[in-house]
Structure 1
Amino acid sequence: MPDNTVLLSTTPSIGRRLISIVYESLLALAVLFLPFLVFELAAQGAHTPLTEHMRQCLAFLVMGAYFIHQWSREGQTLAMKTWRLKVVLPGHSHLPLRVAAFRYVLAWMWLLPGILVSYLLDLQHWQALSAIGIGMLAWASTALFTGNGQFLHDRLLGTQIVQLPAPAKKARKVAA
């Protein structure tokens, strides 16, 4: 594993991290597919208030298991690998499980304020999506004020998202 002191010198741009989040949301659908399929078969497609809350709980738990496992094991999810990003905790060889779990909970601050505003104001459809989008932009802007370019949840935990170097290009074999 590369030395963290080398990795910490390169903070990825906010745009690169946001694009990774968009890709991550697409991958989340794949992660949720099988658990939701099993749930829908068990619930027989019911849409009662109880089953809706159970779906939300299932999504929270499945995504939590995915992110916490990936961050504590390798420091990267699949989207982070694609964009060569890694979450590190200076002074540690890997992210402790407890820190990864707290990071997952705090990362919900990307969505929670917009969800709460939508609920409290009884916003529907595009208005609710707009409130969530504005909340996400507000949370993304925290990277401009934390002093080290990290989002607020990383600043609070002492974790950092770092940019990994591009892999070395393989030399082409010349035909003799």
Structure 2
Amino acid sequence: MPLPLPSVGATPSGTSDLMAPPLPRRLACCLYEGVLLFGVVFIAGYLFGTMSQTRNALDNRHALMAYLFVVLAIYFVWFWSRGQTLAMKTWHIRLVDRQGRRVTQLRAFWRYLLSWLWFLPPLAASLAIGASATGTLLVFAAWTLAWALASRLHPEHQLPQDILAGTRLVTFRPATTKPR
């Protein structure tokens, strides 16, 4: 029988106080998530290449991008609807709705779509101005910094995609259990 998840609310034992984690911890979690996603994307890409018998990296690239978009959607919706990805668990961060409850799969999917705002605008801007690879990295870095610092403007220090999706990132430390 699975153990019930601890409630996410203000408790004396301190499971969570619904406070947003500090920005450096959120960015560290994002970096760690990227490392973990490398493995997910590698295995998914390998399976796609094997199943489609792709011999050249340029063959089926549009289908591969759509496939990876779906794989990442499944990954994030699955874990966010349960509260945490592995990186979020490591950095003591939990995703909840505005009332502090678990998010639904529909809300998690909406957040996933909105999370692409981290990537698509700087890439579109780079294409529009015809930036080189270095220029693209600079545009991406500037956008990421501006996007992350936008959380400082919100009273609860939430990121724009969380505000729009009706979700919150909160500090979550599981209650410690005493050894028997």
TM band (smaller chain): 0.7 to 0.9
- 3-state secondary structure, aligned to 1:162: strand
5+ residue gaps, structure 1, are none
Deviation at 1:92, TM superposition (A): 6.3
Counterparts of 1:99 and 1:8, CA distance in 2? 22
Map 1:54-93 onto structure 2 (within 5 A). Answer: 54-72=63-81, 74-91=82-99, 93=101
Counterparts of 1:60 and 1:154, CA distance in 2? 20
Counterparts of 2:90 and 2:122, CA distance in 1? 28
Sequence identity percentage = 29
1:96 is aligned to 2:107: no
* Greater percentage in helix: 1
Aligned length: 170
Instruction: Verify the 8 A CA contact 2:97 2:103 in the aligned structure 1.
Output: yes
Larger deviation, residues 126-135 vs 19-28: 126-135
Determine which of 121, 125, 130 is the counterpart of 1:122: 130
1:43–1:135 Cα change, 3 Å? farther
Determine which of 11, 25, 29 is the counterpart of 1:20: 29
TM-score normalised by the chain length of structure 2: 0.85
Counterparts of 1:69 and 1:168, CA distance in 2? 26
Counterparts of 2:95 and 2:18, CA distance in 1? 13
RMSD of aligned Cα (Å): 2.1
Larger deviation, residues 28-37 vs 76-85: 28-37
5+ residue gaps, structure 2, are 11-15
Determine which of 141, 147, 150 is the counterpart of 2:155: 147
Determine which of 40, 44, 54 is the counterpart of 1:44: 54
